[in-house]
Amino acid sequence: MRVLTQSTLAVVIALALSACQPETPRETAEDVAEAQREAAEDVRDVREDAAEDVADANANMDNDRAEAMRETAQARYDVQHAEAEAAHKVAMERCDALTDDTKDACTTQVDAERDAAVSRAEAERANAIAQAEQLEDRRD
């Protein structure tokens, strides 16, 4: 029984230590390629939804132009947000190939880039919504 426990412990330690090793360039390339495929799919789906939302908004523009502007702004935001998340996902796969401080610095930079892109998208959406509200105020 004691030999089994020691053998099991040795296997667990070996597996844990192997997890600490950086990825090989091939593994990184495969992970990045997979992340790119998934990200492209995610962005494509969001773009399709956004295109439908914009088409619906434009169809209703005669009835409520301000609402159409808000819906268009939200659709643009959704696409920009999806693009930021997709770029983040791919970049994080590249960071995974690094070790220690370099990996930490890479992750911090990639997170900051995503956060900045999302903030820009939020600001653009807020500006468009403000314009829609001004339009409504002028109508009233």
In a domain, 3, yes or no: no
Q: What is the residue range of 108's domain?
A: 24-139
In a domain, 53, yes or no: yes
In a domain, 84, yes or no: yes
In a domain, 32, yes or no: yes
- Residue keyed to tokens 């495929």: 37
- Contacts with 87 (C-beta within 8 Å, 6 or more apart), sequence order: 39, 113, 114, 117
Q: State phi, psi for 62 to the nearest 5 degrees.
A: -65, -35
Residue-wise pLDDT tens for the chain (140 aa)?
Answer: 454 455 554 554 544 444 556 778 888 889 999 999 999 999 999 999 999 988 888 887 766 888 889 999 999 999 999 999 999 999 999 999 998 899 999 999 999 999 999 999 999 999 999 999 998 888 76
Instruction: Work out the burial of residue 121: count CB atoms within 10 Å of its CB; fewer than 13 is exposed, 13-18 middle, 19 or more buried.
Output: buried
In a domain, 111, yes or no: yes
User: How many structural domains does the chain have?
Assistant: 1
In a domain, 78, yes or no: yes
In a domain, 12, yes or no: no
In a domain, 10, yes or no: no
Whole-model pTM: value is: 0.76
